[in-house]
């Protein structure tokens, strides 16, 4: 049973990598370039960076569902400057120091309709010197009142420190062949396209789009070659899986895939990067996920009709390299007073 569980976990990890094209197209040491992109396109995507430690980020998030008992329509828009200048590489293992050195401000508006009920509100937060200052116009916050919370309280280095060590020492990360196998399987399911992007602060941009064929990826992972790949990964990680259990897991996964085939066919994942090619600078990012669960499959989940779900997230970066100044509200109340 434990071996079966490991197989399912490994399969899920490969699928997550596939659902994150940024991880595969920008994987160090890999030559993966999705069909539809030229070598120059992929080289630009790999070479591009934000190009500065300060920038203003505009973003919006849209989540919509239909066919559920309580359909959701969520919309969030936000904007604000961020300054990472004083955040050092060593802070990756010291979250308290990272937070103390981070400076940012963000103002956002949000609205959500669930069923027949709609809620909306505004929220603003500022992070300076390890403290977060925030205000909002929805209870239990009092409109016009600033609150303050020390983000470093309770932050240690232990849990965060383990993450880089685990990644570095994981045998899988030291096995180029195993990584190449994962990238190869994922790469078969990716396609790309390049279009002219928006003009941003006078700079012409390119938009590189990578799309994931979810059905193809899931079927590749559950194929005999895909299962052999998973077995090889498990062996590399020091947990070999007996052939009998591997075959049993493959049968169960393929039954699951057959059941969800209509949903897999109707699921799309698309990632967009907006890049200034002259400066090799990222100016934006987008993620779109859409799926439809047919009525037959939805009935197994207690639904009575077809279910759709759309998620769209877009980010635009401006004022890269500009100075960031964030004021701290002098009259902020301690967050412990909220609701009292």
Give the contacts of 234 (CB within 8 A, at least 6 positions apart).
6, 7, 10, 240, 241
Q: Higher model confidence: residue 18 or residue 88?
A: 88
Residue 330 lies inside a defined structural domain of this protein: no
Residue 340 lies inside a defined structural domain of this protein: no
Number of domains comprising the chain = 1
Q: Are strands 54-66 and 268-276 parallel, antiparallel or unpaired?
A: unpaired
For the stretch 313-332, pLDDT in tens is 999 999 999 999 999 999 99
Q: Higher model confidence: residue 190 or residue 147?
A: 147
**pLDDT value at residue 170:** 57
Say whether pLDDT at 24 is over 60: no
The mean pLDDT value for 282-303 works out to: 88
Please give the full DSSP string across 207-219, using - where no structure is assigned: EEEEEEEHHHHHH
**pLDDT value at residue 161:** 43
Say whether pLDDT at 8 is over 70: no
Is the separation of the CB atoms in 308 and 291 below 8 Å? Answer: yes
Residue 72 lies inside a defined structural domain of this protein: yes
Residue 9 lies inside a defined structural domain of this protein: yes
Say whether pLDDT at 163 is over 70: no
Which range of residues forms the domain containing residue 75?
A: 2-322
**pLDDT value at residue 30:** 46
Matching residue, tokens 């895939």? 257
**pLDDT value at residue 238:** 73
Please give the full DSSP string across 244-298, using - where no structure is assigned: HHHHHHHHHHHHHHHHTHHHHHT-EEEEEEEEETTTTEEEEEEEEEEEEE-HHHH
DSSP, collapsed to helix, strand or coil, labels residue 228 as: helix
Q: Higher model confidence: residue 229 or residue 214?
A: 214
Q: Higher model confidence: residue 320 or residue 171?
A: 320
Residue 332 lies inside a defined structural domain of this protein: no
Q: Return the biggest CA–CA distance within the chain.
A: 67
Say whether pLDDT at 27 is over 60: no
Most confidently predicted of 76-80, 87-91, 137-141, 240-244: 76-80
Residue 95 lies inside a defined structural domain of this protein: yes
Cα 131 to the center of its chain, rounded Å: 26
Say whether pLDDT at 200 is over 50: yes
For the stretch 28-37, pLDDT in tens is 444 578 889 9
Say whether pLDDT at 78 is over 90: yes
**pLDDT value at residue 227:** 78
The proportion of the chain whose per-residue pLDDT surpasses 90, expressed as a percent, equals: 44
Rounded Cα–Cα distance for residues 19 and 23 (Å): 9
């Amino acid at each position: 049973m434990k071996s079966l569980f490991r197989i399912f976990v490994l399969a899920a990890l490969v699928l997550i990598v596939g659902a994150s094209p940024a991880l595969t197209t920008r994987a160090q040491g890999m030559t993966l370039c999705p069909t539809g992109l030229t070598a120059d396109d992929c080289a630009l995507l790999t070479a591009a960076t934000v190009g500065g430690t300060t920038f203003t980020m505009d973003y919006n998030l849209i989540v919509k569902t239909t066919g559920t008992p309580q359909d959701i329509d969520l919309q969030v828009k936000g904007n604000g400057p961020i300054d990472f200048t004083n955040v050092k590489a060593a802070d990756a293992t010291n979250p308290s120091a990272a937070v103390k050195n981070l400076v940012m401000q963000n103002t956002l508006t949000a609205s959500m309709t669930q069923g027949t009920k709609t809620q909306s509100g505004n929220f603003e937060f500022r992070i300076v010197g390890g403290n977060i200052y925030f205000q909002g116009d929805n209870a239990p916050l009092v409109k016009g009142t600033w609150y303050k919370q020390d983000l470093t309280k309770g932050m240690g280095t232990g849990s965060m420190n383990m993450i880089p060590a685990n990644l570095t020492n994981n045998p899988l990360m030291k096995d180029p062949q195993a990584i190449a196998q994962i990238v190869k399987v994922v790469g078969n399911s990716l396609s790309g396209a390049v279009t002219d992007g928006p003009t941003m602060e006078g700079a012409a941009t390119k938009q590189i789009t990578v799309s994931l064929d979810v059905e193809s990826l899931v079927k590749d992972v559950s194929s005999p070659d895909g299962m052999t790949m998973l077995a090889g990964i498990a062996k590399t990680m020091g947990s070999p899986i007996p052939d009998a259990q591997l075959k049993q897991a493959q049968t169960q996964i393929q039954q699951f895939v057959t059941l969800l085939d209509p949903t897999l066919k109707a699921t799309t994942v698309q990632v967009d990067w907006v890049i200034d090619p002259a400066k090799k600078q990222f100016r934006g990012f987008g993620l779109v996920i859409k799926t439809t669960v047919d009525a037959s499959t939805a009935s197994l989940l207690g639904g009575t009709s077809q279910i759709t779900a759309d998620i769209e997230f877009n980010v635009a970066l401006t004022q890269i390299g500009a100075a960031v100044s964030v004021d701290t509200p002098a009259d902020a109340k301690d967050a412990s007073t909220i609701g009292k």
